[in-house]
Amino acid sequence: MEYPLIEKIETTIVDLPTIRPHHLSMAVMRSQAMVIIRLFCSDGIEGIGESTTIGGISYADESPEGIKLNIDTYFTPLLVGKPATQINALMKMLDKNVSGNNFAKSGIETALLDAQGKRLGVPVSALFGGTIKNTLPVLWTLASGDTQKDIDEAHQLIKENRHNTFKLKIGAKDPDVDVAHVSAIKAAVGSSIKVTVDVNQAWSESVAKRYIQKLQDNGVDLIEQPIVKTNFEGLARLTDYFEVPIMADEAAGTVVDAFKLAKIYAASVFALKISKSGGLTNIHRQAAIAQGAGISLYGGTMLEGTIGTLASAHLFATLPNLDWGTELFGPLLLTDDIVKKRIVYKDNGMEIPQGPGLGIELDMNQIEKYKRK
């Protein structure tokens, strides 16, 4: 049997402006840089993928410029001429020959899966057993940096029936200031609306113990990565001590991390991100570990555009224990898009396209408009 071969891989960096400055603990985003991957096969099928980081190199050890360089220089020579349908073998080969580079690997695997779905005439989700449902709940991050602006924004989004769960990024300011900010927003939106916080590893264990208590007392629903990602035992102590669920994000970076965390029940929830884990298949493996340990799941984001967001959505929609929904709002943070049909967001969630592959098509005029010169 002859398999279609990978003939060519093209990468392009595009820069899309955000609707407002997006304040994180490690950076302030005013635009998003995305590496768009086009993988061409000998049967005429083209797969698309995306590799996106947050704040250049401030969040992770890969940057858009580095991702493009490494795919062009190292990944492409390894992949060209190989069977495009042998995705597991290709990813194993990349893991053997390329250390780290999980963001780049995720984008490549997405392109391979998109191509395979198109080849078979099925959505990417069908390659993982199919969706449990064709919509996903999506929260919104309130990150203007101003308490009253965040309250007004939350009320407007609730009124529009667009979101009913809100996440707040804290850790960059004094903990008392952060807790006062979060508590004011929680009080303003009420008990029927969920409010979660992401500390982005900013606190020590002792500081976390003091301020998580205050957040719990003020009705906050979930605490994400309060301490440094390497302190698994500290996460386990916090998880055991508090009633409010503790979520591992940066700590749950790989399949091995997920196993080690689950072994000592170091979190009540795992945040899944295809980029940090190296692709959809690795996320599927992490999810299985979590399910076996009775740990809930949350669909995370690297604030990807439409391609990366839908890659995540196709996988997340197949998981039975996605109890905390998703934060797949990345495209909503951007003023424009590079695909012909944008994702439909409504009723506090998003719709997952049911066409072949990811179910979307690049708009090459938009790629040309926003590509980095």
Contacts 24+ apart (CB under 8 A), 225-231: 225/198, 225/199, 225/200, 225/201, 225/249, 225/250, 225/251, 225/271, 226/199, 226/201, 226/202, 227/199, 227/201, 227/203, 228/201, 229/201, 229/253, 231/205
Amino acid letter, 29: M
**Structural contact between residues 274 and 315, judged by C-beta atoms closer than 8 angstroms:** yes
Residue with token string 């503790």: 246
Show Cβ contacts of residue 241 under 8 Å, excluding neighbours closer than 6 positions.
Answer: 209
Cα–Cα distance for residue pair 197/247, rounded to 1 Å? 10
What is the SS3 assignment for 121? coil
If residue 256 lies in a helix (H) or strand (E), which one and from where to where?
helix 255-263
Residue among 169, 186, 273, 276 flagged as catalytic: 169
29 beta partners: 22
**Structural contact between residues 242 and 216, judged by C-beta atoms closer than 8 angstroms:** yes
Cα–Cα distance for residue pair 301/152, rounded to 1 Å? 24
What is the SS3 assignment for 165? strand
Cα–Cα distance for residue pair 26/48, rounded to 1 Å? 30
**Structural contact between residues 103 and 51, judged by C-beta atoms closer than 8 angstroms:** yes
CA atoms within 13 A on the CB side of 174: 3
Q: Is 327 an active-site residue?
A: yes
Cα–Cα distance for residue pair 235/228, rounded to 1 Å? 9
Q: Which two tokens stand for residue 339?
A: 């695909």
Q: Is 169 an active-site residue?
A: yes
- For the beta sheet containing 194-198, the strands, ordered from the edge strand earlier in sequence to the opposite edge, are 140-142, 165-169, 194-198, 222-224, 246-248, 269-272, 296-299
Q: Which residues are catalytic?
A: 169, 327
